Amino acid sequence: MSTLALGLDRTVLELKMYTREKEAVFFSFLLPILLLALFSTIFGGQFEEGDGTMTAGRFFLPGMVAAGVLLTSFQTMAMSVATERDDGTLKRLRSTPMPPIAYFLGKVGLVAVSSLAQVALLLLVARVAYGVELPSDGAAWGRFAAVFALGVLSGTVLGIAYSSLASARSVGAVVIGPILVLQFISGVYIAFDDIPGWLQQVASFFPLKWIAQGMRSAFYPEAMAAAEMAASWETGRTALVLGAWSLVGLALCVTTFTWFKRGTT
């Protein structure tokens, strides 16, 4: 079989294993959808006094999409690869005739399929349950697609690289803790202009802030760009930062990835 065919087979296997892990499915796939429903319901009344252009669902949707991208790519990769390294799965795979690239193609396929499914369900819930107006022009959808693709790519390679920092026993705390902090300071749960300036600067160093900002540029009215740090959506800089993080993550994967548990060969 060709490497691509093996990668496709590996993708199917990865998806089967992923759906059998109920905790992983909840925290990386369903949580952003449930939070969107929860926030839209709880804070819906606070947006009724406005001019009608901004509802609770529309306000929280970009942040939930950004969080979903981070969870289905970075968190899924960091936790699954660390676990497979410690339980010997990677060691056994490395000793088989399967080309190593097929393993990584399977992981990329898992992230791509789960991320697309999650964002589709998020948009469906937002539109049907909360009447959120989705973008009506091609430029907005183009920004959405570009930020989504770069966010998934950077999250995937960074997650694989990050998996080398922890064992299967500690990976939950090592991954979830920083992710939770980043979500609060990156404009996912709180309006970004309500976050102290120095924390905005800290968030600007990491990809999540740029993914969330890119999603706001797709779903928010153009006038709301004035609330951003630079008083604009910074579309070009968003793509540049996420592209740079993708290259950094790829370089870290190449230099740090190992098939064997620490202390073994």
What is the enclosing helix (H) or strand (E) of 96?
none
Whole-Å CA distances, 198 to 83, 130, 182: 35, 34, 14
> Is pLDDT at 1 greater than 70 in this prediction?
no
pLDDT tens digits, 97-150: 888 899 999 999 999 999 999 999 999 999 999 999 999 899 999 999 999 999
Q: What is the mean pLDDT of the chain?
A: 91
Q: For residues 195, 198, 203 and 204, what is the CA-based torsion angle, rounded to 10 degrees?
A: 120
pLDDT tens digits, 222-237: 989 998 988 999 999 9
Distance from C-alpha of 194 to C-alpha of 67, rounded to nearest angstrom: 18
> Is pLDDT at 53 greater than 80 in this prediction?
no
Distance from C-alpha of 61 to C-alpha of 189, rounded to nearest angstrom: 10
User: What is residue 167's predicted lDDT score, i.e. its pLDDT?
Assistant: 83
Q: Which of 92, 81, 106 has its CA nearest to residue 4?
A: 106
Distance from C-alpha of 6 to C-alpha of 225, rounded to nearest angstrom: 45
pLDDT tens digits, 201-214: 999 999 999 999 99
pTM of the model: 0.93
Whole-Å CA distances, 27 to 66, 175, 180, 188, 248: 14, 12, 12, 16, 26
The confidence band for 82, taking pLDDT boundaries of 50, 70 and 90, is very high
> Is pLDDT at 265 greater than 70 in this prediction?
no
